[in-house]
Amino acid sequence: MSDSLKIKSDPSDEIAQTPLLEVRGLSVVFDTPDGPQEVVDQVDLKVCAGRTLGLVGESGSGKSVTCLGVMRLLDTGGRVTSGEVMFEGRDLLKNTEEEMEALRGCKIGMVFQDPMVSLNPVRTIGWQISESLRLHRNLSKAAAKHRTMELLDLVGIPEPKTRYAEYPHQFSGGMSQRAMIAMAIACQPKLLIADEPTTALDVTIQAQILELLSDLKKELDMALILITHDLGVIAEAADDVAVMYAGRVVEEASVLDLFDNPLHHYTLGLLNSLPRIDRSVDRLNAIEGTAPPPQDFVEGCRFESRCGHCSDHCYGVRPSFNQVSATRRVACMHPREMT
Amino acid sequence: MSHQQAQPATQTVTTNRIKRSRLGALLHRWGLTGEWLVTAALIYVSFILFVAVFGFLFQPYPHTQTDLFNQLQPPVFMDGGSWAHLLGTDDLGRDVLSRLIRGLRLSVLIGVIGTVIGAILGSFLGIVAAHFRGWVEEVLMMLVDIQVSLPFIIFALAILAFVGNSLTILIIVVGIDGWERYARLSRSMVLSANRQDYVLAVRSLGLNNFKIYQRHVLPNIMGTLVVQATINLPGVILLESTLSFLGLGVQPPMTSLGQILGVGRDYLILAPWIAVAPGLVIFFLTLSIAVIGDWLRDKLDPTLK
Amino acid sequence: MNKSSAVAPEILMEAKDLVCHFSGPKTSFFGKRKIIHAVNGVSLDLYKGETLGLVGESGCGKSTLGQLILNLIQPTSGSTVFLGQDVTKVDKLEWRRLRSEMQLVFQNPLGALNPRLLIYKQIREPLEIHNVGDPDDRHAKVMDMIEAVSLPEHLLERYPHQLSGGQQQRVVIARALINNPKLVVCDESVSALDVSVQAQVVNLLADMQKKLGLTYLFITHDLSIVRHISSRIAVMYLGRIVELADSVELLQNPAHPYTKALIAAVPVPDPRARSSRATIRGEPPNPFDPPSGCAFHARCPHADAKCRTDLPDFRQISDRHMVACHHAEKLF
């Protein structure tokens, strides 16, 4: 097996590294007509250079909002209320807006879910990619064009010369996503945040894009945050995983540990409820109930109402993290046993 | 195909924000809920309607009665005014208040009926265009384009000048104005509604086309059409005023707000109250209806509850 | 769910050589409209009580095929025979009656519900349309149905947007099943749902099938779900069915290179299985400009001259296993 080659899971290696991006206690509140709602509650995340952090959760778990908060891209009504986001020794939350603009698309690239709406329909693909080069790198027009061709080639878009002058509607979904990725890596960012990059794509294209992301990560020595709801994608592409539920991180582990031995009952429930192409079951083990919406978030364990292992301890008090090993922790009063 | 996962947390927040009307957002920013304004608008409009219907009972003088000894008398709160003529008199010594009450009646009548004609005609043609598509749609939309590119005043003047002038024709003419807005709006809304899965769903349940429109499509686009009507109603009243002002609308001895305004124009310096009184009535009426329309749109949308 | 079909399966629905063309947008004012061959000669049998999974990527025509089978759109040519009756040739009245026999469950439940109608009225609507029973009967039926789909009663007086995605899909299912249809087409019915809720709805569909003896055509892009829910699987590519076999057979012994690629591309929730993938290159061809010969030849690692010119027949290669590939025997 080439596992050991593809998945760096040596913990000693991990400890030695200082994280490239560290999020501590990040909370995000949205103002709604019904009052403020805390959508993200004290989230900690850590991404080391050269690694992929998979951020997995169901819709409404706050995984996308967390990353928008990190990038300070929350739209009006949403605001970060506490926490710090350390990137290369600086707290992004203390940066000025100008400093953030210089950082976005330069040191930190972003790729979004729907490439078709993330591209400007009235500008050519080439223009849009070279824009960030002209903006951040002060390249001349010709140099930017030259570099853009290289980028298109790098992300696997055939015939870069003709594709350069084409418009987004002439691109298929997969090709648009490649173009988005080219745009995001144009300035060789240290960190790439990909928010559901393959959700809108077909499976065969999804496989191509995941492969591309992992190749680019190696080639450009980036760190990658991969936000997804799909545990299959996580198993495929992530090195470390943080599982989010109802605005909180409930479990952190390396990808092998998480799938071998999930400690949080929610993680296990998610894994069990997946239909799998590699095995047959008579009936799916669904988790009963639904995740609470933000207005119903409680201080205590938020999974309690759907959990079969809860006790009186689960009410009222936020479950603190159990540091199981250097790379593993779980926020549960009654975590599963390590096997 | 989009099998994407929505993000309800952010989504509900943003949709709520987008769906709140512009005026509502403005009021919100001013720290007002908008309720008092709506209340005031409702009271004002009810008052106007009441006056339009029952005003003749309180009318101090017949609106045509002249009093040549009391020409251009200022209203009571100005120097030289008297309680005999609360809002003063015009150049023929007619009581402005009486004429206002009488004129209001006709203006509101023309405005409401005209709006209803335009709304029904336009919406119907829009739905027809969206339902049949093809050449029907192309012809109807071409008519819309013609209507848009034509200065309507000139069109209306032409009709009134050639066909002659009666109250019925005037109402029809002001009714025709604005049909193209309903047609465009209802066409695009029906087109997008027909692409919605719930229309396909009820079709697959076996509902016939007429019932689909009646039970499902119309209720969903009604709110917007009603709001469009409230936006249009002041325009219709203004159009009637304009035509009357130009002398091709309501003919004496009948009177409307526009006609009073037209007479007042000649005495704007000498006796401003003649024009100001109907002007203010029209202004506040227009504003109130717009405020109510805005509020109605939010009220009629259950997804905002 | 029964994975092996009954001994002598009875045919519920038979699609014969269905073709459906749409005209695309005009390229210029005087230009000819381009024709898109959404469904291009599909023949398919549906057996009573089975679940047939229809798999394919976006744009392959699987949703169109679903609507053709329900007779919601008229085919350009071909016919669908439902219980011995050619439903493409029925009159309006009969067509409406057939609506209670076959139903559709959508991908996006919120879009499939009228935003301005109370849940109760929406579930009751099919009964009103077909004049089933008296008002009391109808009420009783709605109550039975919401219990069957585990929908809490207090939700009946709400609007669709006030429900969660899973609850909305239960409403759509309740509405589709309340007239006891025989055939239900599920078009990506669980794709938009969260994993944990998706499992609930899949289980619900399976329960309802057992209870009511339903036949499902389960359209999806997700092979993992199809494996779980279907007894047979049909794979569609650019308007044609390229492979059809029993679920386990198809997933374990795929004969068509596209099926193989599709299976390989499905992410397995097991990080140890990572290294074993082979991704195919390229993207599905433009349906306005379909390639000659086998539509898959441009992406196929086994394509030769014959594949570029000749359209492969859809033929049987083993018992209950049909495939449209020139090299199927070699690859099988």
Q: Which tokens belong to B39?
A: 């209340």
Cβ neighbours for A326, distance < 8 A, ≥ 6 positions apart: A11, A14, A15
Q: Pick A231's closest partner by Cβ from C225, C262, C269.
A: C269
Lowest mean pLDDT among A85-94, A249-258, B73-82: B73-82
Q: Which residues on B lie below 8 Å from A294 (Cβ)?
A: 9
Nearest CA distance, A153 vs chain C (angstrom): 14
Q: What does the pLDDT look like over A142-196, one tens digit per residue?
A: 899 999 999 999 998 988 999 999 998 888 888 999 999 999 998 889 999 999 9
Q: How far, CA to CA in Å, does A187 sit from each of A108, A125, A137, A177, A224?
A: 9, 16, 7, 17, 15
pTM of the model: 0.83
- What is the arithmetic mean of pLDDT over C211-221? 93
pLDDT band with cut points at 50, 70 and 90 for residue B296: confident
Q: How far apart are CA A18 and CA B299, in angstroms?
A: 55
- By the CB < 8 Å criterion, does B12 face chain A? yes
Per-residue pLDDT for A16 more than 60?
A: no
Q: Taking the CA of residue C185 as centre, how many other CA atoms within 13 Å lie in the half-sphere pointing to its CB?
A: 25
Q: What does the pLDDT look like over A21-70, one tens digit per residue?
A: 999 999 999 988 778 889 999 999 999 988 999 999 988 899 999 999 99
Q: Which of B220, B249, B228, B254 is nearest to B237 (CA)?
A: B249
A33 and B16 within 8 Å at the Cβ level: the answer is yes
Give A106's DSSP letter: T
Q: Are A267 and A89 in contact (CB under 8 A)?
A: no
| Predicted local distance difference test score (pLDDT) of residue C113 | 93
pLDDT band with cut points at 50, 70 and 90 for residue A14: very low
| Predicted local distance difference test score (pLDDT) of residue C30 | 65
Q: How far, CA to CA in Å, does B270 sit from each of A317, B71, B93, C128?
A: 79, 11, 14, 69
Q: Which residues on C lie below 8 Å from A268 (Cβ)?
A: none
pLDDT band with cut points at 50, 70 and 90 for residue A330: very high
A59 and B6 within 8 Å at the Cβ level: the answer is yes
| Predicted local distance difference test score (pLDDT) of residue A262 | 93
- For residue B204, give the chain C residue with the closest CA: C99
Per-residue pLDDT for C274 more than 80?
A: no
Q: Pick C227's closest partner by Cβ from A259, A275, A288.
A: A275
Q: Which residues on C lie below 8 Å from B4 (Cβ)?
A: 192
Q: Are A247 and A294 in contact (CB under 8 A)?
A: yes
Q: What's the mean pLDDT when you consider all of chain A?
A: 87
Domains and CATH numbers, chain C: 11-101+183-278 (3.40.50.300), 105-180 (no CATH)
Q: Which residues on A lie below 8 Å from B4 (Cβ)?
A: 113-114, 196, 199-200
- By the CB < 8 Å criterion, does A224 face chain C? no
- For residue B216, give the chain C residue with the closest CA: C114
Q: Please give the share of chain A, as a percent, with pLDDT higher than 90.
A: 45
| Predicted local distance difference test score (pLDDT) of residue A267 | 93
C221 and B1 within 8 Å at the Cβ level: the answer is yes
Cβ neighbours for B36, distance < 8 A, ≥ 6 positions apart: none
C224 and A274 within 8 Å at the Cβ level: the answer is yes
| Predicted local distance difference test score (pLDDT) of residue C3 | 44
Cβ neighbours for A266, distance < 8 A, ≥ 6 positions apart: A243, A245, A250, A251, A287, A303, A306, A307
Per-residue pLDDT for B8 more than 60?
A: no
- For residue B223, give the chain C residue with the closest CA: C116
SS3 content of chain C, % helix, strand, coil (to 5): 35, 25, 40
| Predicted local distance difference test score (pLDDT) of residue B26 | 58
pLDDT band with cut points at 50, 70 and 90 for residue B82: confident
> Taking CA A243 as the corner, what is the angle to CA A242 and CA A249, rounded to the nearest 5 degrees?
85
Q: Give me the sheet containing C33-47, strands edge to edge.
A: C33-47, C11-26, C77-82, C85-86
| Predicted local distance difference test score (pLDDT) of residue B25 | 63
Q: Which of C286, C236, C282 is nearest to A204 (CA)?
A: C282
Nearest CA distance, C10 vs chain A (angstrom): 24
Nearest CA distance, A268 vs chain B (angstrom): 21
Per-residue pLDDT for B74 more than 90?
A: no
Query: Which residue matches tokens 């309720």?
Result: B35
- What is the arithmetic mean of pLDDT over A132-136? 83
- Which residues on adjacent β-strands are paired with residue A46? A22
Nearest CA distance, B128 vs chain C (angstrom): 20
Q: How far apart are CA A29 and CA C129, in angstroms?
A: 46
Q: Which tokens belong to A205?
A: 């294209």
- By the CB < 8 Å criterion, does B6 face chain A? yes
pLDDT band with cut points at 50, 70 and 90 for residue A3: very low
Q: Pick C270's closest partner by Cβ from A203, A235, A285.
A: A235
- Which residues on adjacent β-strands are paired with residue C309? none
Q: What does the pLDDT look like over B171-229, one tens digit per residue?
A: 888 888 888 999 999 999 999 988 888 898 888 888 888 889 988 998 888 888 888 88
Q: Which of A306, A244, A241, A230 is nearest to A60 (CA)?
A: A244
A230 and C267 within 8 Å at the Cβ level: the answer is yes
Cβ neighbours for C2, distance < 8 A, ≥ 6 positions apart: C49, C50, C231
| Predicted local distance difference test score (pLDDT) of residue C81 | 93
Q: What's the mean pLDDT when you consider all of chain C?
A: 88
| Residues A123-150 as b or e (16 or more Cβ within 10 Å = b) | ebbbbbbbbbbbbbbebeeeebbebbbe
Question: Domain spanning B35-304: which CATH class is it, in words?
Answer: mainly alpha
| Predicted local distance difference test score (pLDDT) of residue C277 | 64
C70 and B207 within 8 Å at the Cβ level: the answer is no
| Residues C261-291 as b or e (16 or more Cβ within 10 Å = b) | bbbbbbbbbbbebbeeeebbeebbbebeeee
C200 and A286 within 8 Å at the Cβ level: the answer is yes
Q: Which of C215, C203, C106 is nearest to C160 (CA)?
A: C106
Q: Which range among B1-5, C190-194, C271-275 has the greatest average pLDDT?
A: C190-194
Q: How far apart are CA C186 and CA C217, in angstroms?
A: 6
Q: Pick A64's closest partner by Cβ from B7, B14, B17.
A: B7
C264 and A273 within 8 Å at the Cβ level: the answer is no
Nearest CA distance, B299 vs chain A (angstrom): 15
All chains having 3 or more CB pairs closer than 8 angstroms to chain A: B, C
Nearest CA distance, A160 vs chain B (angstrom): 27
Q: Are B69 and B45 in contact (CB under 8 A)?
A: no
Q: What's the mean pLDDT when you consider all of chain B?
A: 81
Cis peptide preceding B253, ω within 30 of 0: yes
Q: Which tokens belong to A109?
A: 């690239």
Question: Pseudo-torsion of CA A221, A223, A226, A231, nearest 10°?
Answer: 80
Q: Which residue has better confidence, B64 or A230?
A: A230
Q: Which tokens belong to C246?
A: 């029993």
| Predicted local distance difference test score (pLDDT) of residue B204 | 87
> Taking CA C331 as the corner, what is the angle to CA C300 and CA C256, rounded to the nearest 5 degrees?
55
pLDDT band with cut points at 50, 70 and 90 for residue C118: very high
Q: Taking the CA of residue A59 as centre, how many other CA atoms within 13 Å lie in the half-sphere pointing to its CB?
A: 22
Give residues 186 to 205 of A whose Cβ lies within 8 Å of C.
202-205
Q: What does the pLDDT look like over C161-194, one tens digit per residue?
A: 999 889 999 999 999 999 999 999 999 988 888 8
- For residue C270, give the chain A residue with the closest CA: A235
Lowest mean pLDDT among A57-66, B69-78, C290-299: B69-78
C111 and B197 within 8 Å at the Cβ level: the answer is yes
Per-residue pLDDT for B10 more than 70?
A: no
Q: What does the pLDDT look like over C237-259, one tens digit per residue?
A: 999 999 999 999 999 999 999 99
Q: Which residues on A lie below 8 Å from B28 (Cβ)?
A: none
Q: Which of B250, B243, B285, B246 is nearest to B99 (CA)?
A: B250
Nearest CA distance, A199 vs chain B (angstrom): 6
Q: Which tokens belong to A245?
A: 């539920």
Q: Which tokens belong to A259?
A: 């799938």
Nearest CA distance, B218 vs chain C (angstrom): 11
C103 and B5 within 8 Å at the Cβ level: the answer is no
Nearest CA distance, B229 vs chain C (angstrom): 20
Q: What does the pLDDT look like over B116-146, one tens digit per residue?
A: 999 999 999 999 999 988 889 999 999 999 9
Query: Which residue matches tokens 């905002």?
Result: B304
Q: Are C111 and B196 in contact (CB under 8 A)?
A: yes
| Predicted local distance difference test score (pLDDT) of residue A277 | 83
Q: Which tokens belong to B281?
A: 């009535």
Q: How far apart are CA B215 and CA A302, in angstroms?
A: 41
Q: How far apart are CA A256 and CA A259, in angstroms?
A: 5
Q: How far, CA to CA in Å, does A141 sit from each of A103, A185, A186, B11, B119?
A: 22, 18, 14, 39, 54
Q: Which residues from B are below 8 Å from C when comparing CB atoms?
A: 1, 3-6, 196-198, 200-208, 211, 216, 219-220, 302-303, 305
Q: Pick B220's closest partner by Cβ from C114, C129, C179.
A: C114
Q: Which tokens belong to C134?
A: 């008296």
Q: Are A264 and A301 in contact (CB under 8 A)?
A: no
Q: Which of C251, C256, C244, C236 is nearest to C300 (CA)?
A: C256
Per-residue pLDDT for A10 more than 70?
A: no
Q: Which residues on B lie below 8 Å from C222 (Cβ)?
A: 3
A64 and B12 within 8 Å at the Cβ level: the answer is no
